[in-house]
Amino acid sequence: MAPSVAPSDNVGADPEKKALFASVTKRIDYTPKIGTELHGIKLTELTEQQADELAAFIAERGVVFFRDQEDLDRKEHVKLGQRWGPLHVHPLVPHDQESPELIVLDSRLRYPYPSSFSILKFEEIPEAGGDTIWSNGYQLYDNLSQPIKTLLEGLTATHTSDIFRVFQANTGRKTFGKLNDSVHP
């Protein structure tokens, strides 16, 4: 599930995020630049102010983790994402009539306006393995040398939906939405 508006565009967010952090009982920053775990917050009970501040915080930290969200069922999961904008439905994945947004795969590269963030809920977690690695593309760029940044300026990457068009041609299956091609700086 991926909201299509920028969380940093939430003008109602207090830069200090006082409403959000008032409910936090414990904060763990996993690295200086990316990844924070917040305890004490129930995502289904966020006020509008807290939701705005959370969106801004996600934009700052890249990924934010919450434990013990048992009341975040499918319906609440969709409602949470919709607080930040319309949700994307993947064009090839067959979806459930009630919650098509929950089956979305990573689609950031093919769309002119990539999703600001995604909401992931683990329903089953293995005792070992299954590690997920997170990265921050903004930080990666900031760490490049100035000559490399200069070399990259003005370059673009074209992301196409050609693979989906081939899939349609080979299988006869139709897509569930428009296939987009986009150019990214």
Q: At 159, which helix (H) or strand (E)? A: strand 157-159
Alpha-carbon distance of 6 to 158, in angstroms, equals 21
pLDDT tens sequence across 105-159? 444 445 555 667 677 777 677 777 767 777 888 889 999 999 999 999 999 988 8
Distance between CA atoms of 71 and 86, rounded to whole angstroms? 22
In a domain, 155, yes or no: no
Number of domains observed in the structure of the chain? 1
* Alpha-carbon distance values, 34 to 126, 134, 140, 164, 171 (Å): 24, 8, 11, 32, 41
Residue 118 lies in a domain: yes
The backbone torsions φ and ψ at residue 75, rounded to the nearest 5 degrees and listed phi first, read -65, -45
Both tokens assigned to 154: 């003005």
Residue 29: closest CA among 134, 141, 142: 134
Cα dist from 101 to 2, 42, 81, 113, whole Å? 8, 21, 9, 17
- pLDDT string in tens for the chain (185-residue length): 444 444 445 557 899 999 999 999 999 999 898 899 999 999 999 999 999 999 999 999 999 999 999 999 888 988 998 998 888 777 666 666 777 677 644 444 455 556 676 777 776 777 777 677 778 888 899 999 999 999 999 999 888 888 888 888 888 877 766 777 888 77
> Which ranges in 34-161 belong to alpha helices (H)?
48-61, 74-82, 137-142, 146-152
Residue 59 lies in a domain: yes
Residue at 145 is within a domain: no
Would 20 be classed as within a structural domain? yes
99, part of any domain: yes
177 located within any domain: no
Domain carrying residue 130: 7-135
Q: What is the DSSP letter of 87?
A: B
Q: What span, in angstroms and rounded, lies between the C-alpha atoms of 178 and 161?
A: 10
